[in-house]
Structure 1
Amino acid sequence: MAAKTQEEQRFGEMVDGMKIWSLYMPRPYPIFKQGHVEKTYSKPLWHLQDHFDPRNPSLVAPILDAFKPDFCNVHYLTGLGHNVLEEIGKRDIPVMYVMPDMALSCSKLTMFVDGKTCEKQCLTCKLSARSKRKGIRATRRIGFCAPSRANLERNARFQPLADYPTAHILNANKYPTPTMARSPSETVRFIYAGRLESAKGVDVLLSAAEMLKADFDFTVKVVGSGAAEPDLRARFDHHDWIDFTGHVPLQQAIDTIAGSDMLCIPSIWMENSPGVVIQALGMSVPVIGSDVGGIPELVRHDENGLLAQPGDVESWREALHAVLSDRARLTRFQTNAANRASEFDQDYLGAKYLAFMDEIRNFTPASSAQGNLADTSRNAASTAHAS
């Protein structure tokens, strides 16, 4: 993994029973400072180094030789260098490439620009994807896993994933247990939890809620911080039924969600598989979510929540109204959410990962099979000629 400073580098040290290597990569700034860079030339230079710097594989190669892994789980190569995949391929180490975002196909990781999802790649993303494709092709046994089908299918439009094993498996994250339970309330308690950015569509949720407040008793708690927070506060903070908490510790966020009646995720971009949705459903808190990306794979419309059109205030007003005007429906959503909690169990998901890793380990690429067949034919012909 990448180290924050040169002093924090580790070379095979035992930490909690595991050997750890942590490298400070040659970059204008460490990955941990992304988004806080003042020099404009630093970012493009950083990305060029992340794709092509020959020091990336040369730094990782000695670690591969020292540790001699039987299997490699690649979760996030950004910051270590995408060209290290070729070094793994040289050693024929089987690889599970987990795709938490669109990094294989987009240099910005999101394929979302100016408030819209990109339908095709720009020149920069094409060049980036071509470089990454070289690493894919250099790895004989590789498989691709994404926490959402939408993410898997979209990456497959721009990369040759169909030639390799693929799987849709949710992240096997372990979340803190809530320390409080939901208490009965006549007031319906909606909550948003996450970053406050324009792509998250929080303004859509709050605008829709404004249209209903005169007729229904409810509150909306907004948990999180981000670039859009000042604008959101300026527009909506005068309402006494809206509570902006700012950033809070994880345990407090978990407890706040657990004590709410319904989570709202109004994203307008293609969310992969939002962890906050999994947390909520696992705590029997149903969800109103945008019908985009991986959200509809978690939220089953009119079963454990509702789906609304991303960016559409009227669609979100209708979804909120459907819950506020029918408390029996809300109760049914909560019961159904509880019944699906086992689907997010860490051991259940871990078993699916292990099965997929075994599939990758035993994978024979079509080109390799053809090559082996050709070798067999040539050997047979040579034997016949000798006879």
Structure 2
Amino acid sequence: MGNTLLAINNYFYRRGGAEAIFLDQMDMFERAGWQAVPFSMQHPNNLNSNWSSYFVPEIEFGSQSGLLKKVEHSLEVIYSRKARARLSGLIDRVRPDVAHAHNVYHHISPSIFPLLKQRGIPTIMTVHDLKLACPAYKMLSPHGICEQCKGGRIYNVLANRCMKGSVALSGLVMVETAVHRTLGLYRNHIDKLVVPSRFYKTKLIEWGWPEEQLTYIPNFVDQAISERPVTVDEGDYYLFAGRLAPEKGIATLIKAAGLSGQRVRIAGTGPDDAALRALAREVGADVEFMGYLSGQALHTAIARAKALVLPSEWYENAPVSLLESYALGRPVIGTAIGGIPELIKDGNTGLIAKPFDTESLAGVLTAMSQLSKNARQEMGACGRAWVRQEFSQAAYLERTTRLYSELGVKDTG
């Protein structure tokens, strides 16, 4: 019998980039001869699993009604006794060799990490956002990028109402952060933190995390995408794919589309949907809203684009959509913020614009359009080669297995 990986994440379905990495990691380890056992939260959208009876009862953060329910759920958000109890039973059953967590806050909670430490299970967590530094996890306040909580000044999350403009939710994450730090739930009980971008590694060190606890392992792309031949012909548009939220910079993209006369398609849904449609009409931009796309439909939309555009205005980590665009043979236009610029070889695999700058983005959209179709294909081909070399499943498996080995996990396959 091979090794057993205990894979931990709040959700057990493809909800976002973190879930894609979590599920694909389980799949690749299974194919490498491991047993991969999930530990998640119960949810109606979950995939089927033989282990779901051990999953934590569902908590949807900030959506409970009734005072007693709210108090009970708030306590579970901060420190889930149910998660500890359920996980203890699962550990007894499967005896994992290593635990690898992804997103756990607000649902499973970091209450599980001292238990894993007590049981002598080497524990790794992949850092998908900035929760370990910023109580509101994005380093965003209602006023834009924010690092006011640096140096332990976490009262700023409440002062700025960073969580959905709510005093109650912002107060809850302030208390949550204080409790987690006082108990050292992350810092003292996790052996290694995997950071998918060099930017996040630097940022966490700036905020006081010890460098020796951090390991850079980049995200990866589904092997099938990068090995499939590119058969779809380039169309006459740029594509944005993602959540329609303020920090994604879509308003800047729409204004840039209007200014440059370039055609843009937007794939996704989110809170800014109506406002962005109104803006497109107001500035006379040639923008088509495609709604939510996933799987093959999304891949086809990317493959038909001149380039994928990531006009982000927050500290992005390491967007999987960017790597997927390369895998599909398409260049990327991104802003110089967060982990995005380290994933674009400017002029080689794509182009970089200034964040928050309509004119800069308009200029870059125009510059990409003025290249020949062959030049754009050449950029896409360079990105595809880079993905196969640096961001493949094989590279991720090798790097992650090596990390497990450094923590004393012996290969019994």
> For residue 401 of structure 2, what is the amino acid of its counterpart?
L
Q: Report how far residue 95 of structure 1 moved.
A: 1.2
User: Any residues of structure 2 matched to 1:116-135 within 5 Å, and which?
Assistant: 116-121=144-149, 122-123=154-155, 124=174, 127=178, 130-131=181-182, 133-135=184-186
Residues 307 and 332 of structure 2 are in contact (CA less than 8 Å); yes or no, is this contact kept in structure 1? Answer: yes
Q: Deviations over 1:66-107 (max 9, x none)?
A: 221111111222221211100111122111111111222233
Q: Is the 8 A contact 1:274 1:295 kept in 2?
A: yes
Q: For 1:1-387, list aligned pairs within 5 A.
A: 1-4=39-42, 15=49, 20-25=51-56, 30-31=58-59, 33-34=60-61, 46-78=73-105, 79-121=107-149, 122-123=154-155, 124=174, 127=178, 130-131=181-182, 133-138=184-189, 142-164=191-213, 166-174=214-222, 177=225, 181-183=231-233, 188-213=236-261, 218-237=262-281, 241-327=286-372, 329-342=375-388, 343-361=390-408
Cα pair distance change 1:115/1:48, threshold 3 Å: farther
Larger-Rg structure: 1
Deviation at 1:173, TM superposition (A): 4.6
Per the TM alignment, residue 319 of structure 1 is displaced from its structure 2 partner at its CA by 1.2
- CA shift digits 1:290-342 (9 cap, x unpaired): 11111112112122111111111121122112222333653442332233231
Structure 2 length-normalised TM: 0.74
Assess, with a 3 A threshold, how the Cα gap between structure 1 residues 228 and 45 changes in structure 2: closer, same or farther: farther
SS in structure 1 of the partner of residue 260 of structure 2: coil
Q: CA deviation at 1:54?
A: 3.7
Query: How many Å separate the matches in 1 of 2:219 and 2:183?
Result: 23
Measure, in 2, the Cα distance between the counterparts of 1:131 and 1:21.
32
Alpha-carbon contact 1:104-1:132 (below 8 Å) kept: no
| TM-score, length-scaled by structure 1 | 0.78
Contact 1:281 1:338 in 2 (8 A): yes
Deviation at 1:4, TM superposition (A): 2.6
Aligned-partner Cα distance in 2 for 1:193–1:348: 26
Residue pair 1:96, 1:144 contacting (<8 A) in 2 also: yes
Q: Distance in 1 between matches of 2:96 and 2:219?
A: 22
* Deviation readout 1:180-233 (Å, 9 max, x if unpaired): 733255xx42111111111111110110111121xxxx4211111111110111
> Cα deviation per residue 1:237-258 (whole Å; 9 max; x = unaligned)?
5858321111123220111101
Output the amino acid matched with 1:294: G
Query: How many percent identity over aligned positions?
Result: 22
Letter in 2 for 1:155: L
Amino acid at match of 1:269: W
Please list every run of 5 or more consecutive structure 2 residues that lacks an aligned counterpart in the other structure: 1-38, 156-173
Shift of 1:176: 6.3
Alpha-carbon distance between aligned partners in 2 of 1:358 and 1:237, rounded to the nearest angstrom: 56
CA contact (8 A) 1:89 1:138 kept: yes
2:274 match: secondary structure: helix
Q: Give the CA RMSD over aligned residues.
A: 3.1
Cα distance between partner residues in 2 of 1:173 and 1:335: 15
Unaligned runs of 5+ in 1: 363-387
- Judging changes above 3 Å, is the alpha-carbon distance between structure 1 residues 138 and 198 closer, same or farther for their aligned structure 2 residues? closer
Aligned-residue offset at 1:57: 2.2
CA contact 1:182–1:260 (8 Å) conserved in 2: no
